[in-house]
Structure 1
Amino acid sequence: MRFHYLALLAVSTLALAACDKAPPPPSEASESAVDAPPQIPVMGPERRILAFGDSLLAGYGLEDGESYPDRMEQALRARGVNARIANAGVSGDTTAAGLQRLDFTLKSQAAKPELVIISLGGNDMLRSLPPAETRANMEAILKRLQAEKIPIVLLGMLAAPNLGRDYAAGFNPIYPQLAEKYGAVLVPFFLQPVIDKPDLLQGDHVHPTAIGIDAIVAATVDDVQDALPKMKG
């Protein structure tokens, strides 16, 4: 596992501050690495999915339609899955902030989601928050979703090496251990497809470009599709 990207991410205080500000004007749209879905109706019942997390889901610095939830929805529809993904990503959110708004977000959905995709914890790590707090917040989120009997895809994060071995030892096991405990589908490291690939990262060296998002979608679409409950009948 290469950590060059995460090292840049952890030491960049400017990038951390950017997560709490309005995104800059997006750069000119790049050609997508994932083909647009065919302009035909997708048959079958609508599959509602909730994407819940931070700027990596919110679409920081991207054009409309280029965020991970948008591109994942398009990728699923291109496979014949009538997906409808609600984007509940908020830039700058920690696990504590996510937990605080979880109930409101669930109650705000037009219908109960069949699946929740979670990306939280990166901002906790950037701020060197105690891993025990991150674990407790994340566990409370997963426990709440389990109580609702909603399947989960957990998008994992890794600690930057410059935070030290003790921090990594407390932070890195959070995702695999909680995924196993709560039966979530785990993506071990959400940002793996864009590590050491500057052309797939925005100028802040933190957030993926539109093509970077497509690379991440291509690497995770099987996980999301497989996590959807099987249709009856």
Structure 2
Amino acid sequence: MFRRTALFAAALALLMVPFMTVTHAAPGGPLKLVALGDSLTAGYRLPADAAFPSVLERLLKAKGVDVTIANAGVSGDTATGGLDRVDWSVPDGTAGVILELGANDMLRGTDPKVTEGALSAIIERLKARGIPVLLAGMQAAPNLGPDYKARFDAIYPTLAKRYDLTLYPFFLDGIIGDRGQHLDDGLHPNRQGVETIASRMLPTVETFVGGLRQGASR
């Protein structure tokens, strides 16, 4: 009787394997990252291979870092919009998320408390699933006034400290004020602008991925 029960349990375990949720990539395989963001991530008016996730993936692979980065950018998305879709935009098997949201909130003059609350909820949902986050910061334009700028700019370091996240302080660092790195709308990066953004962010992402590797090997 015991032998028959043991065989049944073993068979049941084998049947359940395909339905088990895998939180991280297998050790030694490529780490699956998701870039969750707005048009700055999506690659507004750019071909797919010139969008931020593709460029960053290429730069990482050139340095021997084995990753895939899914593009979960949606043009026009706010932090609240990202919260609405985070569960299906970040599939099971994701090892880490690069979170880039808030620029559209700022352009619309959204109360920074609303933006912070939505970003916080996204981080908490991902944390509950065991998915680490690299937070890409945004800064408010000076014409929105010093009070708004101070409150908005504080969102990202505050969240990074609260949740102990890897923080890249300003996603657009290196291209602001340089027309040669923007599309003709003056807001979105062109091919060269994306290359600059990804290159400047690369060391931070390498550190983030290194931490994911260490976590996966434990």
- TM-score bin (small chain): 0.7 to 0.9
Give the total of aligned pairs.
187
Q: Identity of paired residues, percent?
A: 42
Of 131, 138, 144, 1:163 maps to 144
**How far is 1:50 from its partner?**
0.4
Greater per-residue helix proportion? 2
Name the amino acid aligned to 1:49.
Answer: L
Question: C-alpha separation between the residues in 2 aligned to 1:177 and 1:59?
Answer: 27
2:52 aligned with 1:68, yes or no?
yes
**How far is 1:113 from its partner?**
1.2
- The equivalent residue for 1:196 is 177
**How far is 1:162 from its partner?**
1.2
Of 80, 84, 91, 1:100 maps to 84
- Considering Cα pairs closer than 8 Å and 6+ residues apart, tell me whether 1 or 2 has the greater RCO: 1
Q: Is the 8 A contact 1:201 1:207 kept in 2?
A: yes
Question: C-alpha separation between the residues in 2 aligned to 1:162 and 1:213?
Answer: 25
Q: Would you identify which runs of 4 or more consecutive aligned residues in structure 1 move more than 4 Å?
A: none
Alignment of structure 1 residues 176-215 onto 2, 5 Å: 176-215=157-196
Alignment of structure 1 residues 1-233 onto 2, 5 Å: 44-106=28-90, 109=91, 111-228=92-209, 229-231=212-214, 232=217
Question: C-alpha separation between the residues in 2 aligned to 1:205 and 1:58?
Answer: 17
RMSD of equivalent CA atoms: 1.2
Deviations 1:151-199 (A, max 9, x none): 1111111111111122112211000000111121111111011012111
Question: C-alpha separation between the residues in 1 aligned to 2:114 and 2:205?
Answer: 27
Gaps of 5+ in 1: 1-43
Gaps of 5+ in 2: 1-27
Question: C-alpha separation between the residues in 2 aligned to 1:171 and 1:65?
Answer: 31
TM-score normalised to structure 1 length: 0.77
Question: Highest CA radius of gyration, 1 or 2?
Answer: 2
TM-score normalised to structure 2 length: 0.83
SS of the residue corresponding to residue 61 of structure 2 reads helix
